Structure 1
């Protein structure tokens, strides 16, 4: 991870023009890329609210439908089954049809299925609907990664990636209290009705407002030049890639792809604890009231939001200060994964306040490690940005399949979450080793297969 603080070396490493010629301080006639990023942020908030809403409804839903811990573990993981399987084809779809159409159709589709979850009558219907939500959400993050890579120069890409990724935490932090209020004031079904309806409306808004750079009439030539000179793949937004299985095989010849896949698996395992079992842990093991859960459950998500934004800001700052892109993108991945092991300390305290503090630090660390999306944007072949995002997300979301089931089995057999935290800590260690020892130097992969 060593590097020399040399501006010229950083420019070469990122494929960007020298900072003096195209620095972030340059005043441009338009800043349309930030408007597009705001759309990505809102879409990601909705994306994750529609993932986490089931964990908020779970204690009420399990009691109403008579579901045990094993069944709830399967329901929690069902989303990730189809999500993981659909990610590679979803990445190809994002490359083939662009972020506008891919994301818009995906958003409206998963939101419609979310509404239908409110009509579930038992394990089978709920499990099937969660499978459907997973399949429909699969194009979202490959489309996110593609949009940031075509709209942002390399020196801004870390922060841009962090801003949209923080949507996965902001939604829970902002809306947990409101969704708990819906579940207790009305019933758990209204949680799905409300979140699904919001998604459908925004899906239509997305189709009207989002554009790729060369299709956007409101972006200036100066801004397009700034993006392209800084390493943004503006022209790639117009390219339509043909699928080739040999290209996927060739991706896995690179250690960077393997390392990011393993690291993403580790950080996603921690993420899925917070997205699924966390409210149940607070209510059943920590014996917190619904009001306290609504307050305490927000804190780790705020911590994770700060973590991902801090990682992006520091990573981009290091590049501007002359450190290599490779060092700047790798540092938060190693630090975040290492700090994530602190989650096991929860097993050594009876204090609810200390427990929440530890979990907030652990999720803060997971937020830092989630800056891996910026690393994906840096190594992805220019013709396969979405597909590379899909491949790495596939590996990540195996953690989304495994973790809820493992935790459900642990709690069912032991009656507590102690071993579950040891499991998450061990996976965080695996991520630390992958990023620190396997990842190596980051650079944009150039495929030979066509």
Structure 2
């Protein structure tokens, strides 16, 4: 979706439409973010042959990315808050742009581990920076839409990568695939630094649009320390859900091309269509999962019943993946995996909403940060485990069994820790600051 298309779509909203061009920039950054991180997954089956790493070593390469991503999630928010959105976002994308291109220089396992580590460190800044940008440019009533638009870049990137990467790699070599995606992020960085300013400093923003952006009444924002949050079972319910299920999504991103190559003999160019089909289904699931919970609420169900029923439906969509490792037909496997990715994305939409169901707005960011860190740690652990498992057994069956059961286990844990999704009662002991 281009900046012009988003602006035209929002043309009838009050106060002008320049803020939607900002939203288009965030969409582009998130799309590039997911293209950059998925290049290795698409090329992995063939790099493994060229460079000679084994399954354990590939697990270590993925683990390096996850470890850095976890560290970055803990640090990125504070850095962006201190330096501001323009410079903070620029630093994050500069780090991941250089890291993405540095993969082209890697010739050993150690080289790929180093490149992946810095890529994870830089990419961790994307979502904190984008969410903060939305808060600066949009009134509260439009933030959900703006966030939904830029977040769709994650699925767009997952679809674009298997389309673009094989073509570039076949034409100019695998190194070119990393260079091209790195150039995309570097180009975005130049445009961002030349073009982005805060709303008050952007000359193209009309007085009416600025008034609309700042139309919310100011409210006090109370900083809630983690020591307050971790005392509540509701926080651990969210953390557990992310820890148990985020690693499955990382498995989909980094191991599906290897699975399709090893089980069905797909060539580099043959991977594109199956991967696109899988991630298009994921996109549908992302929308459908949120719609389903809303549908239940409109029918008069309680938030607790609606949210958990939608999560149960999504969890059940993942269960059939246990048969994918033994599927005789490629497209049967694609359908089972696509259904599972759709279930994950619908699950994820509802899990993120748990935070606003149970916590006040001023604590949601901290809770989401804790959950994101837990999910990255889980992904780091499963990456190493899968590497050893595949090196030892050569079978994906245990991995798909684990994926098929993870969501039902996570839902049970969520229900035990937060049986009614009661709001957490936080002590507001932190200093009050004026809201941005």
TM-score tier by shorter-chain length is: 0.7 to 0.9
Task: Check 1:52–1:259 CA distance in 2 against 1; reply closer, same or farther (3 A cut).
Answer: same
What's 1:430 paired with? Answer: 409
What's 2:380 paired with? Answer: 401
Gaps spanning 5+ residues in structure 2: where?
A: 1-9, 432-436
What's 1:141 paired with? Answer: 127
Q: CA deviation at 1:119?
A: 0.3
The TM-score with structure 2 as length reference comes to 0.83
- In 1, Cα distance between the equivalents of 2:339 and 2:288? 14
What's 1:391 paired with? Answer: 370
- In 2, Cα distance between the equivalents of 1:316 and 1:219? 34
Task: Check 1:396–1:449 CA distance in 2 against 1; reply closer, same or farther (3 A cut).
Answer: same
1:269-295 CA distance string (max 9 Å, x none): 121112111101000122223333211
Task: Check 1:221–1:435 CA distance in 2 against 1; reply closer, same or farther (3 A cut).
Answer: farther
| Higher relative contact order (Cα pairs below 8 Å, separated by 6+ residues) | 1
The answer to which of 155-164 and 285-294 deviates more is 155-164
What SS is found at the alignment partner of 2:231? Answer: coil
What SS is found at the alignment partner of 1:118? Answer: helix
Q: CA deviation at 1:185?
A: 2.8
What's 1:14 paired with? Answer: none
What's 1:305 paired with? Answer: 283
Q: Is the 8 A contact 1:142 1:390 kept in 2?
A: no
What SS is found at the alignment partner of 1:128? Answer: helix
Q: CA deviation at 1:330?
A: 6.2
Gaps spanning 5+ residues in structure 1: where?
A: 1-23
Which of 97, 110, 113 is the equivalent residue of 1:111?
97
Q: CA deviation at 1:254?
A: 2.9
Which of 233, 249, 252 is the equivalent residue of 2:230?
252
Q: CA deviation at 1:112?
A: 1.0
Matched residue pairs, number?
A: 419
Which of 273, 277, 281 is the equivalent residue of 1:295?
273
Task: Check 1:92–1:176 CA distance in 2 against 1; reply closer, same or farther (3 A cut).
Answer: same
What's 2:22 paired with? Answer: 36
The answer to which of 41-50 and 88-97 deviates more is 88-97
Q: CA deviation at 1:89?
A: 1.6
- In 2, Cα distance between the equivalents of 1:351 and 1:418? 16
What's 1:448 paired with? Answer: 429
Q: Is the 8 A contact 2:15 2:210 kept in 1?
A: no
1:308-362 CA distance string (max 9 Å, x none): 2334456677788998777776665454344333321314532211110010110
- In 1, Cα distance between the equivalents of 2:116 and 2:287? 30
What's 1:271 paired with? Answer: 249
What's 1:340 paired with? Answer: 318
Q: Is the 8 A contact 1:333 1:369 kept in 2?
A: yes
- In 1, Cα distance between the equivalents of 2:202 and 2:303? 29
Which of 118, 123, 126 is the equivalent residue of 2:112?
126
What's 2:86 paired with? Answer: 100
Any residues of structure 2 matched to 1:51-450 within 5 Å, and which? 51-149=37-135, 151-152=137-138, 157-211=143-197, 218=204, 247-312=225-290, 332-371=310-349, 372-376=351-355, 387-439=366-418, 440-441=421-422, 447-450=428-431
Q: CA deviation at 1:390?
A: 2.8
Q: Is the 8 A contact 1:95 1:383 kept in 2?
A: no
Q: CA deviation at 1:398?
A: 1.4
The answer to which of 350-359 and 55-64 deviates more is 55-64
Q: CA deviation at 1:105?
A: 1.5
Task: Check 1:308–1:219 CA distance in 2 against 1; reply closer, same or farther (3 A cut).
Answer: farther
Q: Is the 8 A contact 2:322 2:404 kept in 1?
A: yes
Q: CA deviation at 1:106?
A: 0.4
The TM-score with structure 1 as length reference comes to 0.81
Task: Check 1:65–1:83 CA distance in 2 against 1; reply closer, same or farther (3 A cut).
Answer: same
- In 1, Cα distance between the equivalents of 2:55 and 2:119? 21
- In 2, Cα distance between the equivalents of 1:280 and 1:305? 22
Task: Check 1:167–1:207 CA distance in 2 against 1; reply closer, same or farther (3 A cut).
Answer: same
- In 2, Cα distance between the equivalents of 1:216 and 1:261? 39
Q: CA deviation at 1:429?
A: 2.2
Q: CA deviation at 1:130?
A: 0.9
Task: Check 1:432–1:340 CA distance in 2 against 1; reply closer, same or farther (3 A cut).
Answer: farther
The answer to which of 38-47 and 216-225 deviates more is 216-225
What SS is found at the alignment partner of 1:297? Answer: helix
What SS is found at the alignment partner of 1:362? Answer: helix
Q: Is the 8 A contact 1:166 1:308 kept in 2?
A: no
The answer to which of 324-333 and 154-163 deviates more is 324-333
